[in-house]
Amino acid sequence: MNIDGKAYRTIWLDEADRLHVIDQHVLPHRFETATITSFSALCDAIRNMLVRGAGLIGATAGYGMWLAACEAPAKDTEAFDTFMSDAATALKRTRPTASNLAWAVDRQLAAMTRGSSPEEKRHIAKVTAQAIADEDAEACKRIGEHGKTLLEALAAKKANGAPVNILTHCNAGWLAFVDYGSALSPVYAAHNAGLPVHVWVDETRPRNQGASLTAWELSRHGVPHALIADNAGGHLMQHGQVDIVIVGADRVTRRGDAANKIGTYLKALAAHDNGVPFYVALPSSTFDFSLDDGVAEIPIEERGAAEVRIMSGKTPDGSVLDVQICPDETPARNWAFDVTPNRLITGLISERGVCQATQEGIDSLYPESAGTARHDS
């Protein structure tokens, strides 16, 4: 995506093999990039959400395995393999919910078995990391094309060129992937094609990815939008102000249950009650075909209480400040994700097309995956 006329991805290697990312801590008030110079710094970047979003976490993990390979013993293949196995375990522990992370790590481990020396394996890890990033961007671009057809169908029913109103939760835009995004990719594709669209942006407490990231992205791209309080969506749906909900996902099971940012489930309930179509957009790397019952089986990350107790924002003098929003003695709990059962999901949008959120629907797009168990959670 373009920022001030310059094309950016969210993660990239420069000509000197230095790894760069967009710093998601300082948006929307500043646009900065950061350089990640070691495997442990990369693990910290995922854990503390300098980078975040399922696809970007996966791509970052891919590069993380390459950084680990650069730090691994260079002379002894057995020692190299042990080092890499430990690195894989450490990376998988950084954030537990998004499938893409473990998927990327396992893909790297499998790819490196093709090398016979540490040097070969290190080269394979670099090529594989770049392939993971490129494929993520390409998948998201295709999600945009498939999702655009849904928005075109809704636009055709609108009178006098009125915009299609899309509600989204959290940030599943290009900042959450390598480029384009999942839930926002159809919005960008439709907007670029001249379709009138308008996005309701859930603020997405506690970390406010909607307010700080989705609103920033849409604004930079010139897409009409309005920020709403997390609890406003049901009211808007009751009054015909939402034509479609499109959200991202962090893990989707064989039968189509979808883990996404905390609060997504409540939006799906409201959409169901009001007959509003509710779509989940995801690249193939977000499926976990080893799980069925998402509520029972998907591991839900619980993050620190400070994210709920403290909010960050810009003061009138332009500085950014943290403020505590509750009494000093108030404890807090902070589940980062919830699971929307497939019965509340109208359909899934992946790079392969649109399907029902059922095992049969998913099998129709992914016949090769029937009965596969892919990776540990």
Ligand X SMILES: CSC[C@H]1O[C@H](OP(=O)(O)O)[C@H](O)[C@@H]1O
Q: Which single residue brings its beta carbon nearest to ligand X?
A: 248
255 is in an annotated binding site: no
Identified catalytic residue from 136, 179, 243, 250: 250
Q: Of 118 and 294, which CB lies nearer to ligand X in the complex structure?
A: 294
Q: Could you give the CA distance from residue 288 to residue 258 in angstroms, rounded to a whole number?
A: 10
260 is in an annotated binding site: yes
User: Which residue, among 79, 252, 242, has the nearest Cα to 167 in the 3D structure?
Assistant: 242
Taking CB under 6 A as the rule, which mask of x and - marks residues 237-266 in contact with ligand X? Answer: ----------xxxx---------xx-----
CB within 8 A of 216, min separation 6: which ones?
27, 28
Taking CB under 6 A as the rule, which mask of x and - marks residues 23-52 in contact with ligand X? Answer: -----------------------------x
Give the pairing of strands 244-247 and 278-281: parallel
Q: Of 125 and 349, which CB lies nearer to ligand X in the complex structure?
A: 349
The answer to whether residue 322 is catalytic is no
- At 336, is the secondary structure helix, strand, or coil? coil
Taking CB under 6 A as the rule, which mask of x and - marks residues 47-86 in contact with ligand X? Answer: -----xxxx-------------------------------
Q: Of 202 and 243, which CB lies nearer to ligand X in the complex structure?
A: 202
Q: Is 172 in the site for ligand X (CB under 6 A)?
A: yes
Please work out the total of residues on this chain that contact ligand X, with binding judged by CB under 6 A: 17
352 neighbors 323 (Cβ within 8 angstroms): no
Shortest Cβ distance from residue 337 to ligand X (Å)? Answer: 6
Quote the distance between the C-alpha of residue 53 and its chain's center.
3
What ranges in 93-117 are assigned the alpha helix state H? 99-112
Shortest Cβ distance from residue 146 to ligand X (Å)? Answer: 16
54 is in an annotated binding site: yes
Q: Could you give the CA distance from residue 277 to residue 245 in angstroms, rounded to a whole number?
A: 6
218 neighbors 211 (Cβ within 8 angstroms): no
Q: Could you give the CA distance from residue 45 to residue 52 in angstroms, rounded to a whole number?
A: 9
Interface positions, 300-359, toward ligand X (CB under 6 A):
336
Shortest Cβ distance from residue 173 to ligand X (Å)? Answer: 8
Per DSSP, the chain holds a count of helices (H) and strands (E) of 13, 18
Rg, the chain, Cα only: 20
Shortest Cβ distance from residue 22 to ligand X (Å)? Answer: 13
130 is in an annotated binding site: no
53 is in an annotated binding site: yes
Q: Could you give the CA distance from residue 212 to residue 220 in angstroms, rounded to a whole number?
A: 12
Please identify every residue annotated as catalytic: 250
Please report, as ranges, the residues that interact with ligand X according to CB under 6 A.
52-55, 170-172, 176, 182, 209, 247-250, 260-261, 336
